[in-house]
Structure formats: structure tokens, C-alpha cells
Structure 1
Amino acid sequence: MANLNSSFLLFLSLNLFHIFHTAIARGGERDSGFVDKTYAASGRHLFEENHFQKLNTLAHGYMTNSDLEKAIKAFHGRCGHLSRIYSIGKSVLGVPLWVMEISNNPGKEEAKPAFKFIGNVHGDEPVGRELLLLLANWLCDNYMKNPLATLIVDKVHLHILPSMNPDGFSLRRRGNAKGIDLNRDFPDQFFPMNDDFNKRQPETKAIMNWLKEMRFTASASLHGGALVANYPWDGTEDKSKSYYACPDDEAFRYMAKLYSHSHHNMSRSKEFEEGITNGAHWYPIYGGMQDWNYIYGGCFELTLEISDNKWPPANELRMIWQFNKMSMLDLVASLVKSGVHGRIFSSDCGEPLPASIAIKGINYTIKASERLADYHRLLVPGQQYEVMATMPGYKTRTTTIVMGDEPMTVDFILEPDFSLSSSFLPNHCSNRSSLKIFKLISKPHLQVSLTLVLILAFLCFLMKRKAIVNHFKVRKSVGQRRVSAV
């Protein structure tokens, strides 16, 4: 009888957990994200023990951390012509955080957008890590065979981090090895809860350093426990549960709907209209990765809940992959199938300028890359926008575009603003030219006269001007419309 009662209690606890699993989906607690850590110790330990046993059983058929590392290296060994693998850091327990980059020129800086997928942010939500390996292998297998696969590999740098929280996965729990919810560990725009960099978890630091080194246009993190595409803002100033729109609310809604409507059944949700939700309207959280990406990383990130069940049986993974495959592919491809893209140059020397791009009426600015001066801005099709390029010491350029169903290319040539005092005149070009000249004339064995140096500099100037003209003539992507703001 004792064994029967014990079995009944175990059955009851596991089924209660399954019934209420959606209450701990994206953010954990649905109220505020500020969690009361006090529990009745005995009850909590019994629940955790039963919960661990259940998840340990469900883990059969899922890749272990060792299996995942082998699968990532096997993928690169098979698809090395369009991939590279690298680690952005280590977890608390020293597990490498492996990333797969997929591109026709992996590891090379190019004037094209970058997208990142992150899986397994919460240790007990492992579906993402499995789906991301399937995505990588599908792209490899279908490159030059499927138009969508070919478009993504040729036009995007895709970076995939299958597991942000390998320790939580192996421990069968939500937080990392220190019990910290990684989706609460980022700096917050409303509250100074994670302002001390040294107190953040190594997994969080790895993501933040990653975005300092890599410029991502957009990204998505994969979670479980619901079926919805979640977009910023995730919190509100007064901690209220209410819709709180970010400056690019329309663009985020467009991205979320793109994922939801490409999904097998997400858009038919009875809980979320069209299968999308504003995070703060669903339930506010603070210290989340999504908002931090947008504010501090210049990256448009969605939080994707891809499975009602946080840890479904392994035999359901193929079905979940089929339900999400087109959504994942369409989301990445949207970076080059929509929006406005271009490069920015200086009119006086032809050098690329890392200027800023702003849209009139939207309080959010992105920067062109430092070396190539390319930019990629997500916008909603079917609307008119004023695009502005600004750079200290140069005259602002503005052009009006009407976004259709295709991407637009808008290049800018900025002129120095000579109305400014000499201390504010641009030196972006002069510094580079002067450096080249001084290097030449400082070498005694060359014995180059100043006249010859000036001639060479002038020829270099003419070649750069010609390069800009050729750039406008040659760089015409298929299906793109080009506008040049001179």
C-alpha cells in the first residue's frame, strides 16, 4: 500500500507539472520577473527530485552535451566549404559554447547582414538545440539545390549557438549551474539590476562580448512551454502587465507574423492573436536578453516559443522540426528579401564612412560597419520612409523610399561640411591619406620625391572615385531597387 501511495503521488506531481507548464515558459513567472526565492524546503526538494526523474527519462533520445559537440564538429567536417565553428566562451562548469557559422564565405567580413539563432537558454527547454542542428544540416544538404537554402548561404552570415546553457541541460533545470535564470541576467533599461558586469554569469558575458565583436542585424532565441512569437518590449516602467511598444514596434510585429504565419499552426493560436505577443502585454520580465539585444546590440531579436511542451519526448522532435522549419528559414531570409540596405562613402576621398542611419519618425538609429560602411535596416513593406545618413563633420543626406515586397538598396555619398570650424572638419579621409604618405617618404631607401608622392596620391584618388562609380554600376542585386543619395 505504501508503494501504491508513493506511485500515486509521483504520478500526480508529474501530471500537475505538465498541466501548468505554460506558466513557466518565456520568462518563468508570469507576474514580474522579480522572483521570491523562499520555498518550503521539504516540498520543493520532493518536487525537484520527481521533476528531475521525469526529465531524465525524457532526455533519452536527446543529444548530451558531448553528443552535441560531436555533432557540431561532424557538421563542420562534412560541410566545411560553407561553415566554420568557434566558441564564444565557456559555461560555469567549463563547457564550450560552440557556434556554427554558415555562409559561402564563412569567417570573412562582407557587406551583407548577419543573423544569429540561440537555443537552450533555459536548461529544461532543449528542443531548440536539436532543431538548430537539423537546420544547419538542412542548409548544407540543400545548398545549390533549394532556392531558399542557396539564398541564405550566399546572402547572409548565419550564426547558430545550439546551447547557451549546457550546464542547465545536464542538471535538468531551468537556470545555469549556479541556479541563475540567464534570461534575467542582462542589463535592464528600467531597473539597475544587472549593472555590475563582474556579477553576471559567464554565459551572459559570452553573449555580450559576442555582440561587441560581431554585428548582427537580427536574431532569435528558441524557448519552450508555449507556442508564440514574442517581441519587445518585455517590460514596463511601472511593472504593469500592459502593451509597451518599442520604437520599431511595426517592424517587430512584421517579423513575428512572418514566423507565426509560416508555422504549421502557431498563427491559429486561441491564446495569442495571430500567434504573436508583445512581451510586456503577455507578462513583463526584466533583465531579458531580447530587449538588451535591441537596445545595446543594435540587433532585432525575437523570443520564439516553439513547443507547448517544454521537454517533449524525443520521438516528437522531427514533427516539431517540420512545424518550425519554414518559419526559421523565412525569418533568416527576410534579412535580404525585405528592408533597406546600402553603403556610405565620402565624396572627397571615396573612403567608406561608418555613418549612422536613421528613419524619420522612428527613434532608433543603426550604424554602418566600421570597415565596409554597409548597413541593413529592417522596415515594413508597403510604407513610405525618409532615410537619413549622418556623420560628424559631413552634411546629412536624406532620401525618401517606398518599401514594396522587395528589398531596396540605398547608397549614400556624404560631402564634408566646410561651414564648420577647422577643428570640426572631418579627418576620416585625411588621416588615412596622410598615414600612407608619411609611410612612403619615411623610408630612405625609396628616395621618393614629394612630387612623385603627390602624383601617386592623386592617381589613388582618381581610382577610388572610379571604384565608387563602378560600385553603383555593378552592384545590382537580383530583385533589388537601388537609390543613390549623392
Structure 2
Amino acid sequence: MTPARLLSALFLCLSLSSLGFFTVHSTAGFVNRSFAASGRHLTEENHFQKLNNLAHGYMTNSDLEKAIKAFHGRCGRISRIYSIGKSVLGVPLWVMEISNNPGKQEAKPAFKFIGNVHGDEPVGRELLLRLANWLCDNYMKDPWATLIVDNVHLHILPSMNPDGFSLRRRGNANNIDLNRDFPDQFFQMNNDLTERQPETKAIMSWIKKIRFTASASLHGGALVANYPWDGTQDKSKSYYACPDDEAFRYMAKLYSGSHYNMSRSEEFKEGITNGAYWYPIYGGMQDWNYIYGGCFELTLEISDNKWPPANELHMIWQFNKRSMLNLVASLVKSGIHGRIFSSDCGEPLPASIAIKGINYTTKASETLADYHRLVAPGHQYEVMATMPGYKTRSTTIKMGEEAMTVDFILEPTDRFLPRQCYNSSSMKMLEVISRPYFQVALTLLLVLAFLYFLTKRKVIFRGRKSVGQRRVAAIVKRTNCVICK
């Protein structure tokens, strides 16, 4: 290029720059960013408005509370209602218990359903109210309803996340995903109690009070029965089986196979999936239930559409009704059940039940010593009962399709030593007495009692002495009087 052409090109560039051609990109970028921010805001508003429109026909939180109380009002003889806590915004977390003896401790398995874990997945709350009312209407009329009410304590929490529902979003009022808020087995997370959400704390406290055998939480966005583990040690997306993988697969297939079309899924074979194989999550409620609560929990995705129109709810209920009933009834119709007693006293023992080859222990109840152990049918199991101070007992069983009762009578390790028989309350008292701080307190109390005794004795001695002196003086006085006379 000649110097003249170079100068011409330079002049042309400067001219175009002065006209703003080279600033168009940066200006356009600024406009796009502003538009994008505005667009996001508009998208959020539009999304909220869309969900608001879809919510037409669904129960509000106020409607839900009224429906729960109305259910109890007409079905009080087989139900009770109670709250396990409150949400961030103070909404009570209402539970319906359905049983022929609600609120009483019995040697029966307990099952819980939880709906609306994610605020934007509201189908579960609607289906659980329908389930409760169906059981009420059909008790003593339908064999399934009668079987469940007479033999199971069924607890139903329609909405774990009422705040998220009213805000039309996945998380709670603090925008926390409640299904990531539980302590995790693989990673140190959610261990700070002060940081845990009130809804999560309520569930954890609930499980400590009631010994649930099994449970299920209802979600939306897919159609599949999900079972543990939900995560892996290396965070990989791969099948990661828990110790009771066979039993969980049986439960998941029971639900899927009873569903109208879940088992026909093209995405999930037989309509079931291992959680970690689908996609790993950490801090989930399902794994925590199994590890810390002794409770076999499934995560049930019951609707491809998270928020289907309300006019589809009846159809979704019909598709899921038999599956829900079968899952609860399986606690009675399958598995191993029994009680454990001492041979010398005949008292119930809160022993532990283990199965050889499965690294998982089930604890019998403290008062009635009943246990309920879910296992897959068609297998042979060696069942063992163990308790400190007693000899371990075991028996081998072959599980068919029906439930099996296996009671144990345990002998003390040293049968020649005299033993005192205690009931459960006495055992708890002995446990308290054996603690070091109680022994120190008892010693101090005895010392104080002894000092008090010494002080009182000294006062009494002084009192007796003065009385004696007065008596002597009186005798001397009377003697003197006689002499004088």
C-alpha cells in the first residue's frame, strides 16, 4: 500500500469512528444487558403469573387447613390431627393420623406420607387429602381401607413447604431447597443446627418421636419411583445401592406396578430408579430417613407436569390411588414382624434385629418391644435378635409373598445369677441412676442429709438438756419447801 492510500484509509477510519460506527457494538452490548435484566424480571413475573393461573382450583394454605379440620370433624373416631411445627412464615405443618386407635402406642407399623416438599410441586397435597377422605369414607366397607385403618398407624403431612407453595417457587420462604437441607452421609453439610430450616427441624423431631417403618414423599416433574442411595461418595452419576437394595426395589416396583402407566415408562425401566443413577443429590430427606430414622422411604414422582391444571387432579388421583394403598398395606401384607421377650421375666425387651449379610439394624420399640422389618419376598434370611446382657438368638426363614411373624425369647448371659425383672420404665430409671452425674448428685444429697441430721440432733440434745435442768431445779425447789415446812 502506497503512503497516499495509507493516509486515505486512516482518514476514512477516523471519519467512521467520529460517526459512531465503531461504538455500535459496545452500545448494543449495554442495551442488551439492560434488556436482559428487564427481560429476566419480566420472565419471573410472567412465570409467577402463569403459576398463579394454574393454581386456580388448587387449595390455598388456608383452604388446606380447613379441609384437614373438616376431615377430622367427620372422621374423628379413626383420626386425630396435630402440628409438628411451623414454617418460616408461621404456617402450621398439619398432620392427619388415621388408625382405629389414633394417638395410642400399639404393636403396629407406622407409615407416613409427605407432600409438597417443593413449593412448586403441589399435586401431592391434593392427592393426600383425597387419600385421607377415601379411607374415611370406605372404612368397614372396602377391604383395603379396613386393613390399613385396623393394622397401620398412617400419618399424612399434606404440605411440608406451605410457604414455597404460596410463593410459587421450589424453595421455602428463605429460598432453601428443603430436600437438600438434611444431614448428609457422604459430606459434612447441614450439620449446623442453627442454619437448618424450621421445616427440616420439624421433620427430624417428628421422626424421633414416632417410630416409622416406612414412608414416601410425593414430588412432580417425572413419573418414577426413586429409592436410595440418592448420592455417591465421589459425586458420580452411577448406581449406588444401599444395604437394603432388594427391599427398596421391591417397594418401588410395588408402587410402579400398581400405577396406571408408571411401569410403562420409556425413560425408566419398570418405572423405578436408583437415585444416584438418575442424578445424585446430597442432603436429601430420603437417605436421612433410612440412616438416622430407621425408616424405609421412597421418593415418588407422580406427575410429569409439576403443576398440572386442577381439572386433571382427579385423573392423577385415580392413576395413583391403588399404588398408594398397596404401599401402605405392604407393611402388613409383607415383611417380618414380631416381639422380643426375656426368658426369666417375660418382660418385653427393646432388642435389635439384624439380618445376616445386610448391614442394617432395626430397633424394637422401647415399651412394647415390637419390630417391623421390610425385606424382599422370595429370599431366605437369617434373622438375629441381640441385646446387651442376653444371648443372641437367630432363626432362618424363607420369605414368601405373605408377611411372617418371628418372635424371640432371649436368655440372660449368666442364668445362674439372680436377676431382677424390670419393666420399661424401671429400665429407664436404672439407666438414669447409672449415669455419673446422677451418682455425684446423689452423694451430695446424702452428705447434706447427714449434716442436717447432725444439726437437728444437736438441737434436740440441747433441748433435752435444758428440760432436764428445769426438772432438777423443780425437784430441789419442792424438797426445800418440804424442809422449810
Stretches of structure 2 lacking an aligned partner (at least 5 in a row): 1-35, 431-485
Task: State whether structure 2 residue 219 is matched by structure 1 residue 223.
Answer: yes
Task: State whether structure 2 residue 169 is matched by structure 1 residue 193.
Answer: no
Cα-to-partner distance string for 1:106-132 (whole Å, 9 max, x where unaligned): 000000000000000000000000000
Question: What is the identity, as a one-letter code, of the residue corresponding to 2:386?
Answer: T
Task: State whether structure 2 residue 221 is matched by structure 1 residue 202.
Answer: no
Match of 1:168 among 164, 170, 174: 164
Question: What is the identity, as a one-letter code, of the residue corresponding to 1:47?
Answer: T
Contact 1:393 1:420 (C-alpha < 8 Å) held by counterparts: no
Task: State whether structure 2 residue 334 is matched by structure 1 residue 359.
Answer: no
Contact 1:103 1:158 (C-alpha < 8 Å) held by counterparts: yes
Per-residue deviation at 1:41? Answer: 5.5
Please name the residue that 1:388 is paired with.
384
Question: What is the identity, as a one-letter code, of the residue corresponding to 1:151?
Answer: L
| Distance in 1 of aligned mates of 2:111 and 2:277 | 26
- SS at the partner of 1:124? coil
Per-residue deviation at 1:432? Answer: 3.5
- SS at the partner of 1:376? strand
Please name the residue that 2:266 is paired with.
270
Please name the residue that 1:331 is paired with.
327
Please name the residue that 2:286 is paired with.
290
- SS at the partner of 2:297? strand
Per-residue deviation at 1:253? Answer: 0.2
Contact 1:115 1:156 (C-alpha < 8 Å) held by counterparts: yes
Please name the residue that 2:401 is paired with.
405
Please name the residue that 1:52 is paired with.
48
Please name the residue that 1:129 is paired with.
125
Please name the residue that 2:452 is paired with.
none
Contact 1:349 1:429 (C-alpha < 8 Å) held by counterparts: no
| Distance in 2 of aligned mates of 1:173 and 1:74 | 28
Per-residue deviation at 1:42? Answer: 4.7
Question: What is the identity, as a one-letter code, of the residue corresponding to 1:289?
Answer: M
Per-residue deviation at 1:421? Answer: 10
Please name the residue that 1:479 is paired with.
none
Which protein is bigger by CA-based radius of gyration?
Answer: 2
| Distance in 2 of aligned mates of 1:363 and 1:64 | 44
Per-residue deviation at 1:45? Answer: 3.0
Question: What is the identity, as a one-letter code, of the residue corresponding to 2:390?
Answer: Y
Q: Percent identity at matched positions?
A: 86
| Distance in 2 of aligned mates of 1:346 and 1:88 | 35
| Distance in 1 of aligned mates of 2:153 and 2:424 | 32
Per-residue deviation at 1:276? Answer: 0.2
- Distance 1:416-1:277 versus aligned 2 partners, 3 A rule: same
Question: What is the identity, as a one-letter code, of the residue corresponding to 1:222?
Answer: L
Match of 2:102 among 97, 103, 106: 106
Question: What is the identity, as a one-letter code, of the residue corresponding to 2:113?
Answer: F
Per-residue deviation at 1:47? Answer: 2.6
- Distance 1:221-1:347 versus aligned 2 partners, 3 A rule: same
Cα-to-partner distance string for 1:347-375 (whole Å, 9 max, x where unaligned): 11111100000000000001000000000
Contact 1:393 1:426 (C-alpha < 8 Å) held by counterparts: no
Question: What is the identity, as a one-letter code, of the residue corresponding to 2:106?
Answer: E
Question: What is the identity, as a one-letter code, of the residue corresponding to 2:228?
Answer: P
Cα-to-partner distance string for 1:297-345 (whole Å, 9 max, x where unaligned): 0000000000000000000000000000000000000000000000000
Q: TM-score, normalised by structure 1?
A: 0.79
- SS at the partner of 1:259? helix
Question: What is the identity, as a one-letter code, of the residue corresponding to 1:322?
Answer: Q
Alignment of 1:34-113 (within 5 A): 42-113=38-109
Please name the residue that 2:373 is paired with.
377
- Distance 1:418-1:41 versus aligned 2 partners, 3 A rule: farther
Cα-to-partner distance string for 1:248-307 (whole Å, 9 max, x where unaligned): 000000000000000000000000000000000000000000000000000000000000
Contact 1:416 1:426 (C-alpha < 8 Å) held by counterparts: no
